[in-house]
Amino acid sequence: MRPPIAFSSIVLTIVVCSAVASERGSPDSDAPAGWQTISPRDELRPAFAYDRKGGLDGKGCFAIRADAREGLDGSWTRSFAVEGGKYYHFSASYKAKSVAIPRRSIVAKLDWQDAQGGSVPLDEPSVAGYLRGSIGMAETEFPATRNGGSGGWTEMSDTYRAPSRAARAVVSLHLQWAPKSEVRWSNVSLAEVAAPAPRIVRLATVHYRPSGGKTPMDNCHQFEPFIAEAARQKADLVVLGETLDMVNVGKKPAELAEPLPGPATSYFGELARKHGLYIVAGLLERDGHLVYNSAALLGPDGRMLGKYRKTCLPRDEVNWGICPGHEYPVFETRFGKLGMMICYDGFFPEVARELANRGAEVIAWPVWGCNPLLARARACENHVYLVSSTYEDVAHNWMISAVFDHSGEAIAKTDKWGSVAVAEVDLNHRTQWVSLGDFKSEIPRHRPVSDDWEK
C-alpha cells in the first residue's frame, strides 16, 4: 500500500514517454535537465526520445524503442539529491508496446551514492553467517510493479529509507532484451515521505498428532485448546497439520473425505470467529467422485475463504486414488497475502515459487513429514515467511513445526508434542544480503523465463 505522501523540501517530479527518433548521442534537447541516456555498450544502444505530450494525462514522457536486434539495453537516467536517513517514495508509470516479458524487460532501478558518486554501506545488519568479513553495502533497489492503471499505463513504485551516508539516488528507467518493442515512462517522482508503518503479523504453528479419535470430527475437536493457546498469544494465523481428519482414525481417505466447505470447516470456522484469527487446516476433500488432499483457510468472520488442493502426490496417495490439484491460489487477508502448500509439495520448488509469483508473503504448510532443509530452501529462495505444522517427532530431524523467515532460519519452533510456537514478523521488513541487497525485489527481474504462459 502506498503511504500518504508528506511532501517536503525535496519533491522531484519528472514526466516521461515514447516512440521516437533514433539518436545515438545525447538525449533530445527538450528532455528535462539532468536526464541522460545510457547503454552498457554502444552497439546495444536502443533509440531514445522525449515527447512533451505523449505521457500519462498528456504530460511529457521518456521513450525507448528497440529495433529487431536481440539484446538491446538502455535507460533514461538521472541523479537526485537525497538526505541520508530520510524516507523517499519512488513512483513511475509506464506504457509498453510489443514487450513479451515486462517483468524482465521493463525495469526501474535506484542506486544510492555518496556525494562523490561512490557506494554507501547499509545501516541495518545484513544476513549473517556467509561472506564473513564482508561489509554490507546498499545494492540496487528494484521498485515493484503494481496493478495496471487506466489507459494501458502501469505503476511501478516503492518506499525506501536512504542509507545514512547517501547524498544522491540515481534513478534509471530501462527497456532491455525486447526486440521490436517500445516503452514510455511518465509521471516519475521521488519524494520525501513519512516513515511507513510496519505491517506486524503474529504467525503460529501447532505441533500435535491426534490420537484416540474414531471420526474426523473427533480429531478436529482435539485441536481446540491449541487454537485457544495461539489466540492467547495474540496470533493472527494458526497453521494445523495435514489431513488431520485422517490421523490415527484407521480408515482410507475415500472413506473419510467430506465436501469443503463441510462439517470440519464449519467447526474450525467457528473457532476462527470466536478467537478472531485465521486458521489453515489440512483436510480430505470429496468433490463428486474425486478425493483431494486439501488445505482450507478459515477467516475471522467464520467463513471458509478458500482452499488449496495438493498438486504433488507421493506414491501412497496416488495408490489411494487421490487426485492432484492444479491451481495456486493466493488469498488477501487482513495482514497480507497468504498462500498454502501441503507436505510433498515442499520437495518441488515450483509450488512455493508459483505462490510467490502470485504475491504470497506468507505460506502456510501443513506437512506430515519432509526434509527440514527444504523448508529453509523454500522460504529463502522466495523470501516468504513459511509456517509448517508437522506430525514428526523433533528427534527424527525429518521435519519440525516452525516459522521460517526470509533467510530460511526457524525463528520460532516447537520442541515437544502438544505445543504452540508463535513468531511476530513485519511484512514490510526488507531482508538484506551482502552482495545481493533486497533479493525479494530482484526475483521478478532476474528469475528465468521458464513458464509457457509467460512466453
- Cite the active site residues: 242, 310, 343
Alpha-carbon gap, residue 267 to 362, rounded angstroms: 24
Task: Report whether 81 contacts 9 (CB < 8 A).
Answer: no
Sign of the CA dihedral 276, 282, 286, 290? positive
Cell matching residue 135: 561489509
Task: Report whether 181 contacts 99 (CB < 8 A).
Answer: yes
The gap from C-alpha 128 to its chain's centroid, in whole angstroms, comes to 22
Alpha-carbon gap, residue 374 to 335, rounded angstroms: 25
Cell matching residue 47: 533509440
Terminus-to-terminus CA distance in the chain, angstroms? 29
Cell matching residue 58: 498528456
